[in-house]
């Protein structure tokens, strides 16, 4: 049985050679199609079933495509579109991880996020982007 799985893995790798594979957009399309499928199960009209299948088909086509340049262009558009959203979630994660040792402030001039150590009292914070000063209590 172990030998069978090994040969299956080898054949799958050979078949996928030269194909684009899964990326962030493909994963997002799979998740969105799964959400639509779940929603269509509980909806009396089954309105979301066809869009769910279309999204799943599109993600499969992207995954097995050999047209690298087109898939990379689609990925770049997706990353540009979701960049600010992902950056906000990463900042929230970092704030949560650093909540014991650091405080976060926003520069009033350029709106940059500034991280300063906690427990230093009232300090002057210099923004590295616009070189303005901000006084705050840590």
pLDDT of residue 84: 93
Which segments of 1-65 does DSSP mark as H helices, in order? Answer: 2-16, 24-42, 49-64
d(CA 1, CA 13): 19
Average pLDDT of the residues in 109-116: 88
pTM (2 d.p.): 0.69
Q: How confident is the model at residue 93 (pLDDT cuts 50, 70, 90)?
A: very high
Give the 3-state secondary structure of residue 117. Answer: strand
Q: Residue 33 CB: number of other CB atoms within 10 A?
A: 21
Average pLDDT of the residues in 72-101: 94
For a pLDDT cut of 70, what percent of the chain falls above it? 100
Q: 60 exposed, middle or buried (CB, 10 Å; 0-12, 13-18, 19+)?
A: middle
Q: How confident is the model at residue 138 (pLDDT cuts 50, 70, 90)?
A: confident
Q: 124 exposed, middle or buried (CB, 10 Å; 0-12, 13-18, 19+)?
A: exposed
Average pLDDT of the residues in 90-110: 91
Give the 3-state secondary structure of residue 1. Answer: coil
């Amino acid at each position: 049985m172990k030998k069978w799985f090994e040969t299956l893995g080898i054949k799958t790798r050979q078949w996928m050679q030269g194909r684009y594979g899964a990326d962030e957009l493909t994963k997002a399309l799979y998740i969105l199609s799964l959400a639509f499928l779940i929603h269509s199960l509980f909806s009396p009209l089954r309105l979301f079933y066809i869009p769910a299948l279309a999204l799943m088909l599109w993600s499969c086509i992207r995954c097995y495509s050999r047209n690298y340049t087109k898939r990379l262009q689609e990925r770049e558009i997706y990353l540009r579109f979701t960049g600010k959203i992902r950056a906000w979630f990463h900042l929230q994660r970092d704030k949560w991880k650093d909540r014991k040792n650091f405080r976060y402030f926003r520069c009033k001039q350029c709106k940059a996020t500034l991280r300063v150590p906690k427990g230093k009292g009232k300090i002057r914070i210099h923004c590295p982007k616009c070189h303005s000063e901000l006084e705050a209590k840590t």
